[in-house]
């Protein structure tokens, strides 16, 4: 996210926490009700991507920056051990979240007398054969509703030590291989990972496609702390990114207006509909996210004044504790969707459920900040980058 290196590399880039917080709130609102009014104005309203792309790119950037620095200071072996320690933390969090999620759905299906909920949350197979489903969940093959992004991140982070080692030897070759694999996925839809239950179920987030976004983010983070990314200051690149981002926004916003007022034309829906695969990270989603990242890096410096303002703090605090807030948001969105469905909620109830959920997420993150302040003499605004306090 920085166009230059220097001493700032030793500090925590609050832009990462801020936009990670924005992504967390967007994920929660989209999960509560994809068709709510609020959901029309989350990150997906900015272009052909949504919060998932933002989250994976920022996670890759943070991992490349933090663990790239660790390799320089401690060597590849010790840094690799730190990465796999983080992978283990994520895996444990995923398993715990899976059990909480399934317990919530299984407990509420009968009292609410609505078996459709089991299908909606993809919990039918767990209720039919819980023993098999749990084993498949432990191997990341069973991914119920909302439970598909953590397995993706676990798989990508597990490959990161090899990628960072490659960056030290031949970064252009590693990026070319990553891009080549992404291209192969776009051309051959059989390059997938199988999921449970088979035989046709696959990972919703295809790691062979999404790895390109994550590892490009990792390269930007690794390159940024080492020597900066000078081409971010190129005026022609900035202009091209601005035009591309504006075009994507206008087309996507026309879809939002059409949803609100059906007489308003939705531009290029038929032409672009087949080009927006989220599973394989389609070119439109990939490029649109990257051009917006270029704009953010150019227009919002790490020391931007608004990041120190009160309005930004809820986003920054949640972004700082993203793993905990993400897991909490998954459970809250599950309960929130059930509440809305049971009470046939309109816009008012949808907004109220979203507001209450976000308030709980902010309160939990603030409580963690307060607790950490009591454990560290540097207080809750410590600026040193942390491989565990940051990205999911």
Q: Read off the pLDDT of residues 191-220 as tens digits, 9 standing for 90 and up.
A: 999 999 878 899 999 999 999 999 999 999
Measured distance CA(319)–CA(374) in Å, rounded: 20
User: pLDDT band at residue 384, thresholds of 50, 70 and 90?
Assistant: very low
pLDDT-derived band of residue 391, with 50, 70 and 90 as boundaries? Answer: low
Q: Does the pLDDT of residue 382 top 70, yes or no?
A: no
Task: State what percent of residues in the chain have pLDDT above 70.
Answer: 92
CA distance 312 to 295: 19
Assigned domain for 27 exists: yes
Q: Is residue 389 part of a domain?
A: no
Mean pLDDT of 51-80: 95
Min mean pLDDT across 79-88, 297-306, 357-366 is at: 297-306
- Whether 385 is in a domain gets the answer no
CA gap 94, 234 in Å, rounded: 41
Q: Please give the Cα distance from 205 to 65 (Å, whole number).
A: 24
pLDDT at residue 124 tops 70: yes
Percent of the chain surpassing pLDDT 90: 72
Is residue 200 situated within a structural domain? yes
* 196 three-state secondary structure: strand
Q: What average pLDDT does range 294-303 have in this prediction?
A: 92
**Number of helices and strands in the chain (H, E):** 15, 0
pLDDT of residue 16: 95
Whether residue 206 lies inside any domain: the answer is yes
Asked whether residue 390 is domain-assigned, the answer is: no
Q: What is the mean pLDDT of residues 175-190?
A: 96
Tokens, residue 296: 């953010």
How many structural domains comprise the chain?
Answer: 1
**Exposure of 237 in the CB half-sphere (CA atoms within 13 A):** 15
- What range does the domain containing 313 cover? 7-375
387 located within any domain: no
What's the pLDDT at 387?
44
| Placement of tokens 């059930």 in the chain | 338
Nearest to 44 by CA among 292, 279, 283, 328: 292
Residue 391 lies in a domain: no
Token pair listed for 319 = 């972004």
Reported as a single tens digit per residue, the pLDDT across 20-51 is 999 999 999 999 988 888 898 999 999 999 99
């Amino acid at each position: 996210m920085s166009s230059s290196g220097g001493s700032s590399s030793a500090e925590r880039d609050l832009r990462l926490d801020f936009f990670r917080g924005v992504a967390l709130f967007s994920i929660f609102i989209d999960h509560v009700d994809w068709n709510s009014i609020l959901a029309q104005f989350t990150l997906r309203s900015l272009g052909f991507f949504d919060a998932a792309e933002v989250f994976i790119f920022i996670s890759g950037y943070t991992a490349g920056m933090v663990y790239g620095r660790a390799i320089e200071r401690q060597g590849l072996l010790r840094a690799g051990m730190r990465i796999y320690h983080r992978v283990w933390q994520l895996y444990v969090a995923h398993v715990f979240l899976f059990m909480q999620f399934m317990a919530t759905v299984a407990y509420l299906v009968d009292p609410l007398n609505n078996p459709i909920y089991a299908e909606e949350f993809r919990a039918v197979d767990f209720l039919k054969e819980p023993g098999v489903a749990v084993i498949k969940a432990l191997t990341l093959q069973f991914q119920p509703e909302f439970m598909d992004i953590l397995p993706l991140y676990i798989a990508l982070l597990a490959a990161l030590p090899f990628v960072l080692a490659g960056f030290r030897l031949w970064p252009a070759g590693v990026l070319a291989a990553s891009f080549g694999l992404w291209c192969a996925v776009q051309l051959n839809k059989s390059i997938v990972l199988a999921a449970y239950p088979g035989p046709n179920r696959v990972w919703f987030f295809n790691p062979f496609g999404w790895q390109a976004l994550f590892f490009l983010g990792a390269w930007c983070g690794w390159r940024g702390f080492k020597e900066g990314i000078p081409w971010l200051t190129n005026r022609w690149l900035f202009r091209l990114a601005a035009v591309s981002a504006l075009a994507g926004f206008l087309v996507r916003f026309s879809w939002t207006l059409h949803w609100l007022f059906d007489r308003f034309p939705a531009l290029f829906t038929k032409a672009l509909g087949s080009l927006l695969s989220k599973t394989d990270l389609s070119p439109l989603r990939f490029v649109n996210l990257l051009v917006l990242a270029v704009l953010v890096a150019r227009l919002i410096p790490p020391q931007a004044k608004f990041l120190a303002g009160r309005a930004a703090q809820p986003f920054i605090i949640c972004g700082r504790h993203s793993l905990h807030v993400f897991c909490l948001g998954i459970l809250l969105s599950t309960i929130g969707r059930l509440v809305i469905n049971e009470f046939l909620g309109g816009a008012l109830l949808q907004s109220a459920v979203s507001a209450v959920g976000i308030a709980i997420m902010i309160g939990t993150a603030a409580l963690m900040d307060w607790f950490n302040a009591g454990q560290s003499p540097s207080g809750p605004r410590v600026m040193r980058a942390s491989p565990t306090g940051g990205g999911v």
